[in-house]
Structures are given as C-alpha cells and as structure tokens.
Structure 1
Amino acid sequence: MKLGLTTALASFLLLAGCGTSESGGSGSSEDGKKTYKVGITQIVEHPSLDAATKGFKKALEDKGLNVEFDEQNAQNDQNNSQSIANNFVGDNVDLIFANSTPSALSSLNATKDIPIVFTSVTDPVAGGLVKSMEEPGGNITGTTDTHPDAIPNTVKFIADNFEGKRIGMIYNSGEQNSVAQVELVEKATKGTDLKVVKSSVSTSAEVKQAAESLVGKVDFFYIITDNTVVSALESVIGVASDKDIPLFVGELDSVKRGGFAAYGFDYNDIGYEAGEMAAKILTGEAKVNELPVQYPQNLKLEINKKAAEEMGIEIKEEWKKDAEIIE
C-alpha cells in the first residue's frame, strides 16, 4: 500500500517532533578521540524507560567515549518505530540502542549488520530477538527487565497476605513483552486459589475504561511492564483508589507514581548495564554476539504508604521487615 502525500508529510512531522540530538562532534573531537554515532529508539515516554535511557547514556559518558546521540521516541506507534530504525540504518549509525521490545524488533527488522543493544525487554528469546540468553547470536544483545523472581514473588505475596482471589490484568495483547508476562503470572498462580482476569487494550486511551470494566470482577489489579498501560497508569490508580482495589505493579517507578507495591529494581541500572555493553562493542573490546543477555540485579519489595491508605490497605508489621516503605 502506498502512503499518500498528506499522510507521509504528517508522519515526517511527527517523527521530526519526537527526536532530540546531542552532538559530540563528527568523526573526531577536539581531543582527537573518535566520535561514535548512536541512535536511541524508545517506544514511548514513561519514567522507567526514560530512566533506562538515562542510565545508558551515563554509562557511555563514564567510559569516556565521545558519542553523538540521535534520540527518537515513537510515541507508542509501531509504524513510527520502524521508520526510526530505518532512518538510523540510512544514517549509518555505529550502534542502535533499542529501549523496549517493539523498538528492538523494529531495529532488528531494519538491519542485520549494525550492532543493536536493547533494554526493557521481557523475554528476548520468545520475542524472537536472540537465539538464547547465553549466546544471542546475530547483531543483537542487551539487558532484560525480567527478574526471574519478580512475578512469582508478587503472586506469592498476594496469595499469602490477602483474602481476594481474582487478579485483574490490563495489557496490550499486541505486545509480546506483555503476553509473556501474563503467561508467567498465570503460571505462578497454579497451586493457589488465585485466578487471572484479563482485559486487553490497544491504546493508552482505552486503559481507564478497561480498569472500570473490571470493577466488581476483580479483587486486585496487577499492572505488569506493559508500555501502553504504564504510560496511562494514573487512570488505573484513580480507579483503584476510588474502589479500594489494591494495585500491584511491575516496576518501582510505578510504585512512586501511586501503585501500592512491586518487586522491582531500578531501570537506570539495566540501562547503565546496556551502556557498558555498548561501550565494549563500540571500542572493539567485544563483538555483539559474544555478550550474553544480562538479567537485572538487586530485586526488592517496595510499598507506597500513601497508596495503601487510599486503597484501604493496612500495612502489616511483618511487611516492614522485607519491604522498603515509601511515603
């Protein structure tokens, strides 16, 4: 299908408005060191992904590399994501940093030659990005945002501490990242009395209605690291607070925004780890297919005291032994 002139112009303007460039020069800098061109593609703006991008850039800075960043945001549009990746290939960047599963898939579709380092990807193997975690193969590797214990620990916490049985999950079924996590939650509920009640959305605008549709049908909300839903998390927080429904979330930034609790880690850290991998690739210290995919470190339980009060949850004394309570 050919894109009409008006649509093509609109897409161009949208992409032009979603990118930033930080130039460290071209070719060689004033100090004689090589300057690398790195394209950053991120599927949507929200605190966790933003933190990962910040960590990635900081790692390259700490390594003392001169880097010219071309930073683009797809505004949660897969067509934009693919156009961004194609443009990076056309610009012959030295490396692509893909922040999210959709961004990584777009980048891999665009090139099999330029090194790609991803982060914020839940299941790189099931998503078709790498052959295995230990030996990714091809031109792509990175860091995953799935700690093996995060979802099982969350489900166990619910089962051990609450009387309700129905976990409401809102997610975008078009995101492989999200489908994989929902399946992990369903797997974790086996052997318990818990049951997953699903509601799928396609856009962030549908999130509030989906949350409202689950009222009366669920005892908890569990919002995983779904880019579509997390970008509209305040809609779910509002419903959860109004209806006294505990809201469990998939990462710590969502706890700070008003989720009740999460087992998580700092996304800045996995972005930083991805940046360290990128530095090795750019300087020739390692080839992209030699670097195993890295898991996040330092999993912890975090509870939002204010959110607990608004959702009618009493914080138990025993929780304080293992959890970090934030105001």
Structure 2
Amino acid sequence: MKKKLLALTLAALMAMSLAACGGQSSTEPAQESKEPEAAEPAAQTFTIGICQLVQHPALDAATQGFRDAVVEALGEENVTFVEQNASGDSATCTTICGQFVTDGVDLILANATPALQAASAATGSIPVLGTSVTEYGVALGIDGFDGTVGTNVSGTSDLAPLDQQAAMVKELFPDAKTVGLLYCSGEANSQYQVDTVKGYLEDLGYTCTLYSFVDSNDVTSVTKTACDASDVLYIPTDNTAASNTEAINNVAKPAGVPVITGEEGICAGCGVATLSISYYDLGVATGKMAVKVLTGESNISEMPIEYAPQFTKKYNADLADALGVTIPEGYEAIA
C-alpha cells in the first residue's frame, strides 16, 4: 500500500514538472525590439519672388542668370519662382512687392533700381537682393554709403567705370565738341551716372548738356532735341532708354549722331560702342548670394554689394559702318 501511494505521489510530481516545463517552453523569449530607422530629413523648399522692372535684354539676362544659379545649387524641385514684370512702371513694382510680402516669400529678387526701392519699402524682414542696380547708396538714399546696406538688403551692381566710358568718347570722337547726355529723369541711378560722366567729359574738354525724358512718350522728341545740338550722345544704363532703343535709333541714325552707351543691350539697339558687363554673369553672382542667404550660410545684413568682375569694350558693327565710325583695336563686335 505504501509502495502504491509512493508511486502515485511520484507520478503526480512528474506530471506537475512536465506541465511546468511545457508552459516554460511555450513562452518564447522576448525579441529585442529594433529602433525604427530614422527618416532622412526632407529637403528645404523655398519660394522666391522676382520683381523685374521691365523686359529688355540686360534685365532678362540678369534674371535668367539668377534662376540658373539658384536651381543649380538647390535643385529645381526645391525652388518655386514667382516672376512678375512691372512693364516699366514703378507703382506696379510697389504692388508686386507688396503681394510678395503678403504671400510670405522666402526672398525677393529686385531687378533694377525702382524694383529695389519698392522691395526695400515693402519689407524690413524678408531678404531682398537687388541686381542691375547701379549705385545702392543713391537708390536707397544712404548718405556716406560704404558698400554694405546693413539691413535686409544686399545685391549686385552693374556700374561700369564711368571715367572709362568718358574716355571711350574721347578715343572714338576726339574732334567732337558737344556731347548730349540722354536719360530718364525718373531713374535715380541714371541721374547719378550722367552727372558723374558729365564731369569726366568736361575734364576732357567737351561741352555737355543733359537731356532728360520722363517716360517712353517723350523719348523721340527729346532725342531729336539732343541730336540737333550734339556731336555725340551718351546714354547710361537706363531702363527706359533700353526699352526704347528703336525709337532712339530712328532719330539718331538719320541725323548722323553716334551714341555711346552704358551697356551692351542699348548699344545693340542704337549705339556705336559701349564698355559693358555681362548681365547674365551678374545674375549668376546674385543667385549665389541668394543661396547663401536661404541656407543660412550668410547674414544678408553683413553682405557687401558685389560688382561685375570684368568689363568689355564692344561695338555695333552695322551702325558703326553706317555712320562711318572707325573702331580701333581692342573692341569686340556685338554678336
């Protein structure tokens, strides 16, 4: 009996042991949880508002150079350009830049002086880069301008050496006596250029007279008055003149009065020669500045105005031949 009881007890103990083992084996050891792989941060995207004063070859080239440089650095898929043209109207520049501020763009490109003035007035926080602007101190009314605006504004200048442009008049037309300086009175940087060039020309012995038009409506009449009283005309980097080269040429060419210009686009339309920059390259330089601002590499308030690295003497072969102007060596024909 005792043996039978002992056997039953051992059997019960074995059954309990097996049950315990079975329960233990059915429970899988906890797997070590893996940390989810960190997703790559999404690329930054930017919206850039472009306010271009008017459509003409120089400003168009600057805008294209800007866009190309930004896209190359940031990728086309990461940049949205909102491009607006003011058709030569300063008030429209104000409207365009105001809308950019309302829309909260990340940066404004202001192409030409009135566009820069409008953008600067519209915002003190959104970065503004100018291009095709001759003198920032004049454009923004900064006394004692030292090359850095110091606010949310910077950019590039299209200022060519004005003393060398005056010397070009002397090189090509040493026997001329009178020079008429033709420009738009509504463009502050045009006024600055003609005032400066006038001084250089007078030092070279020329008698100079300023002839200003208000807008496109009086370009023809003012040009005729200037041609009647001048041996040579000089036109600075003036946006209104650039948009009306055909009208100017239709007066100056029949009158036999040659024109020296401040940039290549105007020269191609009505000039004989120019000391000019590449506006495309100027736009590229501005685009590179924009990338530094957008990515946080540079603080726009500390960025000095940048200038064109080189200047080229160019001439309009067809017009030079038509007017009998001999072009010396060292000039490149406009393509």
Which TM bucket (shorter chain)? Answer: 0.7 to 0.9
Q: CA, structure 1 residues 174+298, in 2 after alignment: closer, same or farther (shift >3 Å)?
A: same
> Which residue is equivalent to 2:154?
141
Larger radius of gyration: 2
Cα deviation, residue 236, structure 1:
1.2
> Which residue is equivalent to 1:87?
99
1:219 and 2:227 are equivalent in the alignment: no
Aligned equivalents of 1:241 and 1:138: distance in 2?
A: 45
| Contact 2:126–2:152, Cα closer than 8 Å, also in 1 | yes
SS at match of 2:69: helix
Deviates more, 1:102-111 or 1:32-41: 32-41
> Which residue is equivalent to 1:155?
166
Instruction: Report 1:256-295 matches (<5 A).
Output: 256-295=268-307
SS at match of 2:137: coil
Q: Deviations over 1:276-302 (max 9, x none)?
A: 000000011111112110011111100
> Which residue is equivalent to 1:36?
46
| Contact 2:242–2:265, Cα closer than 8 Å, also in 1 | no
Q: Deviations over 1:52-111 (max 9, x none)?
A: 000100110111342111101111111111010100000000000000110000001100
Aligned residues: 292
- Gap regions ≥5 residues in structure 1: 1-30
TM-score (normalised: structure 2): 0.83
| Contact 1:170–1:207, Cα closer than 8 Å, also in 2 | no
> Which residue is equivalent to 1:51?
61
| Contact 1:105–1:129, Cα closer than 8 Å, also in 2 | no
SS at match of 1:169: strand
Instruction: Report 1:72-83 matches (<5 A).
Output: 72-83=84-95
One-letter amino acid of the structure 1 residue matched with residue 333 of structure 2: I
Instruction: Report 1:1-327 matches (<5 A).
Output: 32-65=42-75, 66-128=78-140, 132-147=145-160, 149=161, 151-162=162-173, 163-315=175-327, 319-320=328-329, 322-326=330-334
RMSD: 1.8
| Contact 1:303–1:325, Cα closer than 8 Å, also in 2 | yes
One-letter amino acid of the structure 2 residue matched with residue 139 of structure 1: N
| Contact 1:58–1:272, Cα closer than 8 Å, also in 2 | yes
SS at match of 2:189: helix
* Structure number with higher helix proportion: 2
One-letter amino acid of the structure 1 residue matched with residue 170 of structure 2: A
TM-score (normalised: structure 1): 0.85
| Contact 1:243–1:311, Cα closer than 8 Å, also in 2 | no
| Contact 1:244–1:312, Cα closer than 8 Å, also in 2 | no
Cα deviation, residue 313, structure 1:
1.4
> Which residue is equivalent to 1:28?
none
- Gap regions ≥5 residues in structure 2: 1-40
Deviates more, 1:107-116 or 1:195-204: 195-204
> Which residue is equivalent to 1:5?
none
Q: Deviations over 1:127-169 (max 9, x none)?
A: 226674543201000000102x2x2112112224321121112
Aligned equivalents of 2:270 and 2:179: distance in 1?
A: 18
| Contact 1:124–1:133, Cα closer than 8 Å, also in 2 | no
| Contact 1:52–1:267, Cα closer than 8 Å, also in 2 | yes
Aligned equivalents of 1:57 and 1:309: distance in 2?
A: 37
Q: CA, structure 1 residues 227+71, in 2 after alignment: closer, same or farther (shift >3 Å)?
A: same
| Contact 1:117–1:278, Cα closer than 8 Å, also in 2 | yes
Cα deviation, residue 172, structure 1:
1.4
One-letter amino acid of the structure 2 residue matched with residue 157 of structure 1: M
SS at match of 2:83: strand
Cα deviation, residue 195, structure 1:
2.1
Aligned equivalents of 2:108 and 2:283: distance in 1?
A: 13
SS at match of 1:190: helix
One-letter amino acid of the structure 2 residue matched with residue 35 of structure 1: T
